[in-house]
C-alpha cells in the first residue's frame, strides 16, 4: 500500500485488514502511523517512492500493490517526478512478480487538452498499465465523504456565500461518488482476474451540474438554496484565489481541483459492472452521501481528512536536537510558568490548542497571521484540527502539524505556514517540582513553551526581527492564558 497516510489510503487499510488481507504499507515517516488504530495489525516499512531500492524491498512477496499517491500540491516539474515514481513502482512490481496493481486515477473526458494534474494522473495510469503487471485503473471524479477535499469545498462554498457569483465551471456536469463506494471498488479490485488490464470509470448514480451539487448540499444541511450566476471572466487561477479565500481549502489543493472542473467529468461507460458488481445495497445517491458525511462529522467519527495531507513545500524534516544547532543561526523564544493545576489538567489544555479553542492569546494577531498565510497560498488557520481533544503524530492543527507527542507531557508542532525558514512550537507540562507529568497535584505543575525558528537568508532574519515586538504579547499571553485555563478547568 502506498498513500496509507492519505485520505483514501487511511480508510482502505483497515478495511483490507478486516477482509482478511495481510497489509504492508510503505511510508516516508512511519511515526505518522504510530497512533492509528490499525498500526499494530499492518507491517509498516519506512521508505520513499523515489528510492528504487526501498520500493524493491517493500514489494518482496507481495501479491497486490495499491498505488494511491498523487502530488495535488506539487510545484515545479511535478509531472516528471510523478512519472518517474510511477516507473519506479511499475518496474519493482514487475521484478518482484506482483500479481496486481490497483491505481486510483481521475475521471476525465477523452480527446480534451487536460489540466496538468489530470494529465499527470492519466499518464501515471498508462505507465502502470504498460508495466507487464496486470493493472486496474479506477477513474473517479468528485469523492463525497466526511473530510474529503471535494466535500469540504462544496460545503464551504455553499455555506459562506448566500449569493454565488461563480466561475463557468458551476455549469459543468459532474458524476460524484461516495467514498464508501470508492472503497468498495478498491477492495474488490485486488481479486480481479489477471487477464483484466485496463482503466475503468467509476461514479455514483447521479449526474449533476456543479452548481446543483452545492444546492443539494444546502438542502441536506438545512440551508436555503443559493442563487448561482456563472461568470465567464474567472480563470481557473483567479477562481483558485477566490476558493482559497472563502474556504479552508489552500490554494495548492483548490487550483488542481478547479482545473479539473473545467470539463464535464462523467462516466463514458459502465464496463466496471462486468468486472466488479456495485455494492449489494446499490451505489449511494449524492444527497445520501452528503447526509452520511454530515452525520459522521456531527458524531465526531471522521476517519481521515484532507487536513492531514502533507503541505507541498513545507519543511518535513524533524527539528534537529539542540546540540546540532551549533554553528547555525537560530532564534528561540522561551517561556515558563508555574501553575496550581495538576500536570494532567495542564496537559488537557495543551493537547486542545488550536481549532475552535484558538491559541489563547491576541486572537486578532493570530487571525491576521492566518489571513496573510491564506493570501500567500498557505493553509491558514481555518484548516482547524480533526479531533477537538486528542492529537496524534502527523495531525494538522491550523497551520501547524504535530511532529512529536509524548502524551501527558510534551507536544511539538512544526509550522506549515508560509515563512522564510523553518519554525516549531513546543509545549510541555511537568510536575511542579520539575518531575514528569502525572496525577499528583500537591506541587502543581510547570508549563514550558518554546518557539524555535531557523531563518533562511536575510529574509528569514528580517521576518523574525519584524515580529519580535509582538512576541511579548503573543507568546507571553499564550503562556499566561494556558496555565490560567488549566486552573479554571480543574476548579470546574
Is there a domain that residue 316 lies in? no
Claim to verify: residue 304 and residue 327 sit in the same structural domain = no
Same domain, 355 and 283: no
- 351: pLDDT strictly greater than 60: yes
Question: How large is the average pLDDT for residues 71-99?
Answer: 84
Q: Could you tell me if residue 317 is inside a domain? A: no
Tell me if 390 is assigned to some domain.
yes
**What tens digit of pLDDT does each residue of 150-180 get?**
888 888 878 776 555 566 667 788 999 999 9
pLDDT at 437: 45
Name the nearest CA neighbour of 73 among 299, 195, 244, 304: 244
CA separation for the pair 260, 173 (Å, rounded): 11
Rounding to the nearest 10 degrees, give the CA dihedral for residues 42, 44, 50, 51. Answer: -120
Whether the Cβ atoms of residue 284 and residue 181 lie closer than 8 Å to each other: yes
Q: Which of 72 and 488 is assigned the larger pLDDT?
A: 488
Residue 127 has pLDDT above 70, yes or no: yes
Q: Are residues 394 and 449 in the same domain?
A: yes
Q: pTM to 2 decimals? A: 0.75
Would you say residue 470 has pLDDT above 70? yes
Residues 6+ apart with CB under 8 A from 131: 90, 91, 93, 94, 101
Domain housing 467? 322-491
Burial level of 96, CB count in 10 A (0-12/13-18/19+)? Answer: middle
What mean pLDDT do residues 110-131 have?
Answer: 89
Name 198's bridge partners.
Answer: 136
Tell me if 315 is assigned to some domain: no
Residue 174 sits in the same domain as residue 125: yes
pLDDT in tens, 291-345: 999 888 777 677 777 666 665 555 566 777 776 776 678 889 999 999 999 999 9
* DSSP string covering 92-139: HHHHTT-SEEEEEEE---TTS---HHHHHHHHHHHHHHTSSS-EEEEE
- The dihedral built from the CA positions of residue 159, 161, 162 and 168, taken in this order, carries a sign that is negative
- The answer as to whether 330 is a domain residue is yes
Residue 356 sits in a domain of what CATH number? 3.30.530.20
Decide if pLDDT at 81 tops 70. yes
Residue 2 lies in a domain: no
**Do 174 and 53 fall within a single domain?**
yes
What is the sign of the dihedral through the CA atoms of 104, 256, 222 and 246?
A: positive
**Contact status, residue 452 vs residue 328, Cβ threshold 8 Å:** no
Q: Are residues 327 and 289 in the same domain?
A: no
Query: Of 251, 284, 308, which closes a domain?
Result: 308
Comparison of pLDDT for 417 and 189, the residue scoring more: 189
Residues 303 and 397 in one domain: no
Cβ neighbour number for residue 457 with a 10 Å cutoff: 10
Interatomic CA distance for residues 166 and 264, integer angstroms: 17
Rounded to the nearest integer, the mean pLDDT of the chain is 85
CATH number at residue 220: 3.40.50.720
Exposed / middle / buried, residue 110 (Cβ in 10 Å: 0-12, 13-18, 19+): exposed
Cα separation, 305 vs 327, whole angstroms:
39
Check residues 373 and 463 and name the one with the higher pLDDT. 463
pLDDT score of 116 more than 90:
no
Q: Give yes or no: residues 131 and 96 share one domain.
A: yes
Cα gap 137→125, rounded to integer Å? 6
Cross-strand partners of 421: 455
Structurally, the chain folds into a number of domains equal to 2
Q: Give the C-alpha separation, 266 to 117, whole Å.
A: 17
**Sequence-ordered list of residues with C-beta below 8 angstroms from that of 224, at least 6 positions apart, any chain:** 162, 218
Say yes or no: 165 and 256 in one domain.
yes
Clarify whether residues 39 and 137 are in a common domain. Answer: yes
Is 385 domain-assigned? yes
Q: What is the pLDDT of residue 308?
A: 64
Q: What is the pLDDT of residue 434?
A: 46
Q: Which residue has the higher pLDDT, 458 or 256?
A: 458
pLDDT: is 409 or 113 the higher one? Answer: 409
Average pLDDT over residues 59-88: 83
Count the residues in the chain: 492
Q: First CA to last CA across the chain, in angstroms? A: 46
- The three cell numbers of residue 363 are 486572537
- Regarding whether 419 and 272 lie in a shared domain, the answer is no
- Of 240, 273, 308, the one marking the end of a domain is 308
Comparing 340 with 228, the larger pLDDT belongs to: 340
- Region 7-23: what's the mean pLDDT? 94
Q: Which of 122-136, 235-249, 411-425 has the lowest average pLDDT?
A: 235-249
Residue 387 lies in a domain: yes
The pLDDT score that the predictor gives to residue 232 is 63
Per-residue pLDDT at 233 exceeds 60:
no
170/293 same-domain check: yes
The percentage of residues in the chain with a pLDDT greater than 70, rounded to a whole number, is: 88
Among residues 289, 295, 104, which one has the least CA distance to residue 204?
Answer: 289
Amino acid at each position: 500500500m502506498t498513500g496509507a497516510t492519505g485520505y483514501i489510503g487511511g480508510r482502505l487499510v483497515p478495511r483490507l485488514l478486516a477482509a482478511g488481507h495481510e497489509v504492508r504499507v510503505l511510508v516516508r515517516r512511519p511515526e505518522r502511523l504510530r497512533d492509528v488504530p490499525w498500526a499494530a495489525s499492518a507491517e509498516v516499512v519506512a521508505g520513499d517512492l523515489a528510492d528504487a531500492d526501498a520500493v524493491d524491498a517493500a514489494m518482496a512477496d507481495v501479491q497486490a500493490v495499491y498505488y494511491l499517491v498523487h502530488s495535488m500540491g506539487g510545484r515545479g516539474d511535478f509531472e516528471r517526478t510523478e512519472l518517474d515514481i510511477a516507473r519506479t513502482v511499475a518496474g519493482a512490481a514487475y521484478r518482484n512478480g506482483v500479481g496486481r496493481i490497483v491505481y486510483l486515477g481521475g475521471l476525465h473526458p477523452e480527446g480534451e487538452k487536460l489540466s496538468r494534474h489530470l494529465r499527470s494522473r492519466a499518464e501515471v495510469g498508462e505507465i502502470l498499465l504498460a508495466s507487464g503487471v496486470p493493472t486496474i485503473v479506477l477513474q473517479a471524479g468528485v469523492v463525497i465523504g466526511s473530510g474529503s477535499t471535494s466535500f469540504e469545498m462544496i460545503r464551504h462554498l455553499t455555506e459562506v456565500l448566500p449569493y454565488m457569483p461563480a466561475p463557468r465551471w458551476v455549469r459543468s456536469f459532474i458524476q460524484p461518488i461516495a467514498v464508501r463506494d470508492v472503497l468498495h471498488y478498491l477492495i474488490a479490485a485486488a481479486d480481479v482476474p489477471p487477464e483484466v488490464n485496463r482503466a475503468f470509470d467509476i461514479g455514483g448514480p447521479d449526474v449533476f451540474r456543479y452548481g446543483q451539487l452545492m444546492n443539494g448540499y444546502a438542502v441536506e444541511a438545512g440551508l436555503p438554496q443559493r442563487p448561482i450566476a456563472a461568470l465567464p471572466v474567472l480563470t481557473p487561477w483567479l477562481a483558485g484565489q477566490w476558493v482559497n479565500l472563502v474556504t479552508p481549502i489552500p490554494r495548492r489543493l483548490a487550483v488542481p481541483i478547479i482545473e479539473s472542473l473545467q470539463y464535464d467529468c462523467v462516466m463514458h461507460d459502465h464496463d466496471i459492472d462486468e468486472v466488479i458488481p456495485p455494492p449489494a445495497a446499490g451505489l449511494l445517491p449524492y444527497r445520501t452521501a452528503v447526509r452520511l458525511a454530515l452525520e459522521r462529522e456531527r458524531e465526531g467519527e471522521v476517519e481521515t481528512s484532507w487536513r492531514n495531507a502533507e503541505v507541498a513545500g513545507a519543511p518535513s524534516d524533524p527539528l534537529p536536537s539542540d546540540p546540532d544547532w551549533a554553528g547555525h543561526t537560530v532564534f528561540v523564544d522561551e517561556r515558563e510558568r508555574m501553575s496550581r493545576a495538576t500536570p494532567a489538567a495542564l496537559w488537557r489544555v495543551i493537547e486542545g490548542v488550536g481549532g475552535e479553542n484558538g491559541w489563547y492569546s491576541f486572537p486578532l494577531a493570530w487571525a491576521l497571521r492566518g489571513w496573510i498565510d491564506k493570501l500567500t497560498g498557505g493553509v491558514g488557520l481555518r484548516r482547524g484540527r480533526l479531533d477537538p481533544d486528542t492529537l496524534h503524530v502527523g495531525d494538522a492543527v491550523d497551520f501547524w502539524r504535530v511532529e512529536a507527542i509524548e502524551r501527558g507531557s510534551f507536544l511539538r508542532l512544526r509550522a506549515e505556514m508560509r515563512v522564510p525558514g523553518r519554525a516549531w512550537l513546543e509545549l510541555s507540562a511537568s510536575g511542579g517540582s520539575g518531575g514528569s507529568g502525572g496525577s499528583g497535584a500537591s506541587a502543581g505543575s510547570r508549563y514550558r513553551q518554546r518557539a524555535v525558528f531557523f531563518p533562511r537568508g536575510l529574509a528569514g532574519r528580517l521576518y523574525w526581527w519584524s515580529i519580535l515586538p509582538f512576541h511579548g504579547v503573543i507568546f507571553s499571553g499564550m503562556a499566561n492564558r494556558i496555565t490560567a485555563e488549566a486552573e479554571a478547568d480543574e476548579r470546574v
